[in-house]
Amino acid sequence: MSAPRPALWTPGFLLACIANFLMGMSFYVLMPTLPFHLVEQLRIGEATVGLVLSSYVIAALLVRPFSGFIVDRFNAKHAYLAALAAYVLFTSGYLLAHTVLAFVLVRLGIGVTFAVMSTAANTQAIDIVPSARRGEGIGFFGLMSSLAMALGPMAGLWLMDRYPFQAIFEAAVAAGVAGLLVASLVHAPRKLRDGAATVLSLDRFLLVRGIPLALNLAVIGLGYGMLLAFAALHGKQLGAGNTGIFFTLMAVGMMVSRAFSGRLVDGGRVVLATNGGSLAIVAGLGLMAWASAPGTYYLSGLLAGFGFGVVYPAYQTMMVNLGGHARRGTAVATYFCALDVGIGAGMVLAGLIAARFGLAAAFAGGAVLALGAGLVYALLLSARFVRAPGADATGVAQPGKNG
């Protein structure tokens, strides 16, 4: 008779998910409105808008490798609360940023704090979740971010149509404060990371054994960056009346897939889940390149969102399992580093391709790259993650027991 499954929805995990949702709302409510603020209020050109907004990505990428060391060296909850409080403080700086320089400084501060905050939040959630349900827990925890990504932009645009920009900034700060209060109530087990404070080496900042997996994830992230940067513009060219629907459908696809894909991962079928999700991403990007009407355009968002909703938590679970207990924060940081690099490079690559060949060619290129990454995973990387006799409950084969 099999043992009962350990509980997933404990009070601590539920509060952690609520805090993650509120943190996401604080971030995403500003995403579609900041460009309007920069153009209309600060009077800067559209070309400069991209540079100003990208300062966040640069700061996050520079700090991300160190965030894992911070979380492994100190208590994850303390690092989370400190970074979240600093994030709220910098977000409130939008209310005082009346010059481009001040705005860039605020964005840099948000990039630094968000890098530490997201690494600590995910590490704390993984500490709370039973290892036998880790993939499912990561999926539901990430589901909160997907939900915020769907609701945040809509809320921001609704506020922008009815109130001054100051109201949007105040809403972002309020959501951040609420998230901080909820996060302070989370009871997370204190995880002592054996060896976390020993000799400094590259492996303290990036999970060296996870680099091949991270590189593959970065290639997959190229397509996500292309969609974030240019899906709305491509939709307008196709005659889509409301490009916001694309991102809503993309978020819906993520939410649907995250709701069940974790069970596949925890059941030892992480390779099956990852391969299926990769095919959905390729189909979504390919459909975007081929689209000639709004209906096909919207469907591509749903497919791509479904694929990313499967692949991202699967890769995070595999990375965490590679890191083991002592390198959990470093593993999470390595995962997010790969995403940062892939998404940022995807934005740049799509712009370069589109300038010469058009946006359809850019998305076609993203589909080809995603297909290549999927094949590399299936043929070269997946063997170490195949469930076999002697594998642990998360589906990762133990050394020497699966070849």
Which ranges of 193-327 does DSSP label H, i.e. alpha helix?
Answer: 211-237, 244-266, 270-290, 294-323
Residue 291, domain member (yes or no): yes
Report how far residue 366's alpha carbon sits from residue 250's, in angstroms, rounded to the nearest whole number: 16
360 in the same domain as 270: yes
The CA distance from 35 to 401, in Å, is 53
Look at residue 289 and tell me whether its pLDDT is greater than 80. Answer: yes
Question: Within a domain: residue 197?
Answer: no
The answer to the question of residue 287 being in a domain is: yes
Distance CA 186, CA 128 (A): 10
Q: What pLDDT score does 232 carry?
A: 76
Question: Can you tell me the distance from the alpha carbon of 117 to that of 132, in angstroms, rounded to the nearest whole number?
Answer: 25
Cβ–Cβ under 8 Å, residues 199 and 213: no
pLDDT of residue 241: 78
Residues 30 and 132 in one domain: yes
Q: Encode pLDDT of 328-358 as tens digits.
A: 778 888 898 898 888 878 877 888 888 789 8
Last residue of a domain, one of 147, 164, 192: 192
Instruction: Give 194's DSSP letter.
Output: T
Dist CA 53 CA 30 (whole Å)? 11
Identify the CATH number of the domain in which residue 91 sits.
1.20.1250.20
Q: Are residues 187 and 207 in the same domain?
A: no
Is residue 144 domain-shared with residue 263, that is, in the same domain?
Answer: no
For the ranges 115-119, 250-254, 271-275, the maximum mean pLDDT occurs at: 271-275
Are residues 175 and 293 both part of a single domain? no
pLDDT: which is higher, 178 or 197? 178
Statement to judge: residues 84 and 167 lie in one domain = yes
Output phi, psi for 305, to 5 deg: -60, -40
Which residues span the domain enclosing 325?
A: 203-386
Give the Å distances, CA to CA, from 160 to 90, 93, 128, 249. 21, 19, 38, 22
Residues with Cβ within 8 Å of residue 51, at least 6 apart in sequence: none
Q: Which of 172, 192, 212 is the last residue of a domain?
A: 192
In this predicted structure, the answer to whether residue 325 has a pLDDT above a threshold of 80 is no
Does residue 207 sit in the same domain as residue 188? no
**Comparing 12-16, 55-59, 198-202, which segment has the lowest mean pLDDT?**
198-202
Among 131-135, 186-190, 282-286, top mean pLDDT goes to 282-286
Residues 49 and 155 in one domain: yes
Give 243 or 184, the one with higher predicted confidence.
184
Residue pair 384/274 in contact by the 8 Å Cβ criterion: no
| 3-class secondary structure, 46 | helix
pTM recorded for the entire structure? 0.74
Query: Are residues 109 and 208 located together in one domain of the fold?
Result: no
Domain count, the chain: 2
* For the ranges 14-18, 138-142, 239-243, 379-383, the one whose mean pLDDT is highest: 14-18
Q: Are 239 and 123 in the same domain?
A: no
Q: What are the tens digits of pLDDT across the range 213-230?
A: 999 999 999 998 888 778
Do 184 and 267 belong to one domain?
no
Same domain, 178 and 211: no
Instruction: Answer with the residue of higher pLDDT: 159 or 401.
Output: 159
